Every structure is written in structure tokens, then in C-alpha cells.
Structure 1
Amino acid sequence: MSSGESRTGGDASGRSHAAGLAHRVPDLGALELLLAVARLGSLGGAARELGISQPAASSRVRSMERQLGVALVDRSPRGSRLTDAGALVTDWARRIVEAAEAFDAGAQALRDRRDSRLRVAASMTIAEYLLPGWLVALRAQRPDTAVSLHAGNSAVVAQRLLADEADLGFVEGVSVPAGLDSAVIAHDRLIVVTAPTHPWARRRRPLAARELAETPLILREKGSGTRQVLDAALGGLARPLIEVSSTTAVKAAAVGGAGPAVLSELALGEELAMRRLVRVPLDGVSLARDLRAVWPTGHRPAGPARHLLSLTRAQPRT
């Protein structure tokens, strides 16, 4: 056999050995029981310390002895004594349990570091009108978690998640960005609004979808969820009258009389109530949309991100 073949055979043997290790080595619970028997000199005392019944402890010791092929404990009316083999196995077991404790401490440190911060990326409407309430609720339940929020359009949210610059995202577009999984957390609708002085504010008939599509509007920038939904619903848009990068800026331009706009109903409560803006009925098209939480495909939210996601589902959906 060549040296190359020998190495290949050795590798295969090593993989086989590793694959069978879990079947030949007792689990941590059995090793902890053996250590307790050695320390207390009593199988019954060890069972009580570990919170199991004495028959269960006896069964676990017998199973361990069958697994290893040697006797570990001598039982008598005066108590339980380790055999010579049992004493040797106990020394090995102590090192394994100490290593497992170190492993557990390290894993807990990783969880603590993860739980100490939460990075959220959200599209503008969700960041401005929904997330503040969710984050207040999260703060009440996890006061030690530091939260950072980056607000941007849906495309930016996806970029931050895929670059591992955010732990959880929220978007409002027509589809889930590539590379992300999602869950619907709320529903929203877009509505057409104008200043009270605009001719559309005095319309007696609903605005036709075609007329809306052909009218220059005050719009969010490309990549925003609002613009994606509107463009998809109307099959295209006229050249923007004004293009801005925030919902607040769109509202300000519309209130100032620059022209009509299409915005989330979530963002317009105060303006409509004070009649700074007027809702224009629309016919022939639905501008309803889903609001989604998103995260990288195959990586379910954990720790604070999972907690925040549960809070969004606990709130009444719009």
C-alpha cells in the first residue's frame, strides 16, 4: 500500500473513531453521578444530591459499567465503594466534567455578550411610528441590553443584515429582499394626501389609479418600501415632482402645498386630524402592504432580537 493510501485509510479510521465516541463514552450526567458516589461513599446520597431516585442511580451506574465493560462500584449494606477501575475512571471523569464546566462558562460568556446589545435596522415608517413603542417595552423587560437603531430604506436594511451590521431588521416593501427570511408583524396601507388648497382636496369623485400614476408626486427615494409598493401597484410612476429621503420630509413638502403625496396611514394621524393634509379617495387599486421583520436566511433571531420579535407580535396589528 502506498503512503498516500495509508494516510487515507488512517483518516477514515479517525473519522469512524470520532463518530463512535458518543456511544462509548458515558454522558456527563453519568460521570457526575460517579463523582458524587466517590465523594459521598453512598449511591443513595449521590442520588439525593443529583435529585434522582436511588433505583435510577443504580440503573445509570449499571448502564455505565456495561458501556465501559468494567465494574465501577462495589455495593454493600455499609455503602458504596469504588473499585480500582472505578477510581481510575473517576479521575478521568473529573477532568471531563471540569472541561465541560469550562465549556459551559465560555458559552455563557458568549450569550452574555450577545445579550448585552441589540442592533436594529428599520425602514423609515416602522422606525418612526412603530419601533419606539416596541423598544420601550423591550427596555422595561431587558434594562441591561443596549439598543442601537439605524433607520434607512428597505434596501439599506437588507444590506446591513447581510453585512452582519444588524441583528434584526424591519421592512415595508412588496417582497422579501434576497438572502433574508421574514415574518409579517403588521399590516399597513398607503393613502393619497394633499394640502387643503390643492384641487384634489375638492374632488367629488375618487381619483383613478391611472391619473395617480401619470401625476408627478412628492416621493421617497428609490429603494424605499413605500415607493416600491406604489410603483408595483400602479405599474410605473411619473417622474417625481420632488424626491426626498424621509417620510417627515414628504409630509412637510405636502403640507407646504408643493403637491400630492402617497404615504403610510401610520404616519398621517396628526396631519389628517388637524386638516393640514386631506385624504384623497383612490379607485381601482389597492395600496395595502405587509410590514415584516427580517433576518439572514437560516439564522433565526436569538437573545434580545428574538425577544423584540415576540414583542412586535404581542402588539395589536394595524
Structure 2
Amino acid sequence: MPDLGALQLLLAVARLGSLGRAARELGITQPAASSRVRAMERQLGVALVDRSPRGSRLTDAGALVTDWAGRIVEAAEAFDAGAQALRVRRDSRLRVAASMTIAEYLLPGWLIALRTQRPDTAVSLLAGNSAAVASRLLAGEADLGFVEGLTVPGGLDEVVIAHDRLVVVTAPGHPWARRRKPLGAAELAATPLILREE
């Protein structure tokens, strides 16, 4: 397999359309870049770059190899970023925003578990309603958010981590208190309820 530097060179040639410009971007001489491309072509057994006085363009095989190279370089960069994160983990911090119920009942246990796994991570908690959590995430004021609900604003990714069982609570004298059959969704939706947030 070609080395990572050769793959990065091929990607730069594809992006810039010039072996010389790609060499300059990577801080190597044009002869060194040409030599690297030729070595890669020999190793793979196919021509990757058509060279002309007007510039360099990828062959069909070069375009295919470039697609694969992009994935390899991206994975290598992700690996490097992960390794870097491990090196600076001692100085890491995590800003968590959570809706009130989650902040009061679930996060304390989660944060204790996090502390045992990552004792050097400083965690700050911002509690508020679901809309405030989303706003903090979108504004870059929080790294991670936890909310109840099904809708998440655009620009945020979501992962369901748990499901709640919701129950209706009434006063003992309310007609529903002695009811034996479950409430239907339509009846519940038509009934005035006290809600914590919209």
C-alpha cells in the first residue's frame, strides 16, 4: 500500500490540478513529488496522473484511487485527532446542558460513572428547559445536551438513549382516579393539563 504522504500528494493533485502546486502545498519539491507519484504508479501497476504542460489531471484509475485515498487519509486524520485527544485528556472539560428532569434525576448517576472513567475531565452542568438546551448547543455554549421529547432543531444531531413511561396523576376525587380502562390519546389531548413547558 502507498504511504500516507503519497496518498495526500495524490489528493492534492486532484484538488489543485497541478503536481507543482500540490508539491508546494505539501512542502516538497516538484521532482520529489513526481518521483513519489511514479513510485505509487509502479507499486499499484496503473497510471494515476496524466501530466501535460497545462497541468496534471487524474486518469480514470487515478480518480478511483483518489476516492479510496480520501477515505484512508480521513481515517488517519480521525485516528490522529483521537490520539491527540488522549494526550490532552488531563486538561479536558465537558459542558453538559440538560433539561430539568434529566439534570435532577439521571445526570448525577451518569456523572459519577464518568468521573470513575475519566477523573481528569472537568464537567459543568447547565440546566434549563429543552429549548434552552438546544439554544446552548447551537450557540456553542454546551458540548452535549440531554432533553426529553421527539423533536430536535435543525443543526443538531440526536441519539435516543432511553424511553420514559409517562403516567397521568390526578386528585383522588377526579373521575379518572377510579377509572379501570386506559385513557385514549384523543381524550387525553382534549383535556386541559398542567405542563411544565411547551
The TM-score with structure 1 as length reference comes to 0.36
Name 1:256's counterpart in structure 2. none
CA distance in 2, matches of 1:185, 1:171: 10
CA distance in 2, matches of 1:149, 1:174: 22
Max Rg structure: 1
TM-fit CA distance, 1:134: 0.6
Greater relative contact order (Cα 8 A, min sep 6): structure 1 or 2? Answer: 1
CA distance in 2, matches of 1:13, 1:215: 71
Identity value in percent: 76
Deviations 1:72-121 (A, max 9, x none): xxxxxxxxxxxxxxxxxxxxxxxxxxxxxxxx9xx969963884321001
Unaligned runs of 5+ in 1: 1-11, 26-103, 223-318
Match of 2:22 among 16, 19, 40: 16
The 1:193–1:162 alpha-carbon spacing in structure 2 relative to 1, beyond 3 Å, is same
Match of 2:192 among 213, 216, 238: 216
1:121 aligns with 2:97: yes
Name 1:155's counterpart in structure 2. 131
TM-fit CA distance, 1:14: 6.8
Name 1:184's counterpart in structure 2. 160
Unaligned runs of 5+ in 2: 1-17, 34-79
1:141 aligns with 2:147: no
The 1:167–1:114 alpha-carbon spacing in structure 2 relative to 1, beyond 3 Å, is farther
Name 2:177's counterpart in structure 1. 201
TM-fit CA distance, 1:198: 2.5
Please state which structure has a larger fraction of its residues in strand. 1
Deviations 1:182-209 (A, max 9, x none): 2221122322111333331111333232
Number of residue pairs the alignment of both structures matches: 131
CA distance in 2, matches of 1:19, 1:204: 74
Deviations 1:4-49 (A, max 9, x none): xxxxxxxx78733324646938xxxxxxxxxxxxxxxxxxxxxxxx
* Structure 2 counterparts to residues 91-130 of structure 1, below 5 A: 112=88, 115-130=91-106
The TM-score with structure 2 as length reference comes to 0.55
TM-fit CA distance, 1:163: 0.8
Assess if the C-alpha contact under 8 Å between 2:137 and 2:145 holds in 1: yes
